[in-house]
Amino acid sequence: MKYPSISRRTALKGIGSVTIGLPILEEMCLPVSAAEAEKVPVRAFNVFFGLGIPAPLQTEGFEGVLEPLKPLADKLLIMRQVNQLRCDESGINAHFDGASGAFTAEPPNGEAKAGGPSIDQVIRQAHYPDGLPPGMVSTLVAGTFFRRSRVSRYVHSYNQNGTVAATMQEKPRELFDRVFGTISLGDDKNLRRRRLRRSVLDSVVDQYRGLTGKSSPLGANSRARIADHLDRIREFEQRAYEMKRGTANAPPLPPRSQILHGGPADPGGQGIDITLEELTSEWRLLADLYALAIQMDRVRFGAITFLAAGERIRLTGNYEYEGRQIWQFDDAAQHNASGDKGCSHEWWHQFREDQPNKELRAHAHMKMREVAYFLKLLDGPDARDANGKSILENSLITISTESGDGRHNDVKRELSGVFHAVSGANGRFQTGQIMDVGAEGLDLYNTMLDAMGVTGRLGPANHPMTSIDKIRS
């Protein structure tokens, strides 16, 4: 039996701003001409991780701290020797300068602004000058981080004038609301004080029944896929809101995250104590929700941050990877220090090329594991586009960090080897290799923009561009 084609943009519309996107269904891919199959959305996201990877450790490839990226090796172009020296701002430090230059290739413009737009926003403006389709989140910025002081430490998506492109979502339940919408409860103050006492899915139940019931225009496989998809959303919702099971149809306002956020998460810049389980649980829920938003085509541009630039955390816990123990984190005890001097931050300051740097290696390896966790969510069976490739393969995912090896008094050493990686962007870049690009970050980013069909450029208008053609397919 044949079923009618339905649009890739079909979504379940609830009351208020509730919008529940659908997964890719068989009926969405009909007809499947080669030309149509190649038409996938233009997407660009920035993935940031704090503290960086010292250039000497990058040379070890997948045998060192980059090991967790190895399963994705054919989907990524890993770039070394990227020069971000022009991002130096005298009198500050490379934590902030390097973070400000990540995705902008420009030095900061004060403590609350970047020196220019980020690459994702330049692409968004070029491909969607009149805005994204109705119902979409224009830019999604999220992150798990615990140090503030300057905005570019943790926000990595910027408008043309250097202002932040969207409000940072650092709490999973707030990210959930931002993506899936909340229901307006009118002007009644009592109602507005209360969180909607039901799932966001409840407001689209009739449409759900229409697509999965006996009169559905969809085939059995698609009906089952929708049911599984909405079950997954409900699971994330429950996790994000920490709802208690067994309550009679009216769960109260859910408790706040157990992890500190906002000002309390950065008490005087002295750092916080956190377990590995707490850190990764919070991050992975946020990553799950962010990836789900992309999979459902609710968002096509933005940035996600795993730990801020110059991060100050005192991490504890047993770190295992693929069945083997990598390290036992206990930063304060291993430093034999308290406050900021007992934080993971200090391992970068203590980096020496002729030393084992076991503590730094363990932290960097863990960061790569968590970055890989997010990327894999965009490369699985639930993340397929109409051309048969994964979202990871079709999108421009730019991965970067802040600095080299923690030598703030040696800017050249600090900013001349900043780690970068990009996904293929639907065949535009030479994935499947580790490349010593030996190029200025500004030229690298502008080459990426050119490959994305964007005429706009980053940096000063009088900067002579050198195209880094070897990164292009």
pLDDT tens per residue across span 145-161: 999 989 999 999 999 99
**Greater pLDDT, 191 or 187:** 187
From residue 252, alpha-carbon distances to 182, 197, 232, 255, 285 in Å are 16, 7, 22, 9, 21
pLDDT at 200 over 90: no
What value does the mean pLDDT take over residues 206-228? Answer: 67
- For the record, the structure tokens of 264 come out as 């309390």
What is the residue whose two structure tokens read 């208020």? 16
What is the residue whose two structure tokens read 């990210």? 175
Within the chain, all domains assigned CATH 3.40.720.10 are found at: 43-170+262-471
Q: What is the pLDDT of residue 24?
A: 57
pLDDT at 371 over 90: yes
Task: Confirm if 133 and 467 have CB atoms less than 8 A apart.
Answer: no
From residue 353, alpha-carbon distances to 58, 346, 350, 407 in Å are 12, 15, 10, 12
Count CB neighbours of 66 within 10 A: 23
Beta bridge partners of residue 301, listed in sequence order: 44
Q: What is the pLDDT of residue 403?
A: 85
Q: What is the pLDDT of residue 246?
A: 38
User: In the structure, what pLDDT confidence band is assigned to residue 103 with cuts at 50, 70 and 90?
Assistant: very high
What value does the mean pLDDT take over residues 269-279? Answer: 95
Indicate the residue type of 221: N
What spatial distance separates the first Cα and last Cα of the chain, rounded to whole Å? 41
Give φ, ψ of 19 to 5 degrees. -140, 120
CA-angle at 12, arms to 11 and 17, nearest 5° = 100
User: What are the helix (H) ranges across 198-314?
Assistant: 205-212, 220-241, 276-295
From residue 404, alpha-carbon distances to 81, 196, 237, 413 in Å are 10, 47, 38, 7
**By three-state DSSP, how is residue 200 classified?**
helix
What is the per-residue pLDDT across 246-266, written as a single tens digit (0 to 9) for each? 334 433 434 467 788 998 999
Identify the weakest region by mean pLDDT among 215-229, 250-264, 413-427: 250-264
Q: Is the peptide bond before 56 cis (omega within 30 degrees of 0)?
A: no
pLDDT at 243 over 50: no
User: In the structure, what pLDDT confidence band is assigned to residue 209 with cuts at 50, 70 and 90?
Assistant: low
What value does the mean pLDDT take over residues 312-319? Answer: 98
Q: What is the pLDDT of residue 206?
A: 60
Q: What is the pLDDT of residue 397?
A: 98
Q: Output the CATH code of domain 43-170+262-471.
A: 3.40.720.10
Q: What is the mean pLDDT of the chain?
A: 84
Identify the weakest region by mean pLDDT among 240-244, 332-336, 350-354: 240-244
pLDDT at 472 over 60: yes
User: In the structure, what pLDDT confidence band is assigned to residue 189 with cuts at 50, 70 and 90?
Assistant: very low
Give all strands (DSSP E) within 344-456, no chain letters.
396-400, 418-423, 433-440
Q: Which residues contact 122 (CB under 8 A, 6 or more apart)?
A: 160, 449, 454, 456, 458
Spatial distance between the Cα atoms of 374 and 396, rounded to a whole number of angstroms: 14
User: In the structure, what pLDDT confidence band is assigned to residue 135 with cuts at 50, 70 and 90?
Assistant: confident
What is the per-residue pLDDT across 426-452, written as a single tens digit (0 to 9) for each? 999 999 999 999 999 999 999 999 999
- For the record, the structure tokens of 63 come out as 């045998």
pLDDT at 72 over 60: yes
- For the record, the structure tokens of 140 come out as 């999604």
Number of H-type helices and E-type strands within the chain:
15, 13
Spatial distance between the Cα atoms of 187 and 336, rounded to a whole number of angstroms: 55
Task: Confirm if 160 and 117 have CB atoms less than 8 A apart.
Answer: yes
pLDDT at 119 over 50: yes
pLDDT at 198 over 60: no
Spatial distance between the Cα atoms of 437 and 430, rounded to a whole number of angstroms: 12
Q: What is the pLDDT of residue 192?
A: 35
What value does the mean pLDDT take over residues 353-370? Answer: 97
Spatial distance between the Cα atoms of 462 and 104, rounded to a whole number of angstroms: 16
The pairing of strands 44-49 and 396-400 is parallel
Identify the weakest region by mean pLDDT among 34-38, 41-45, 167-171, 301-305: 34-38
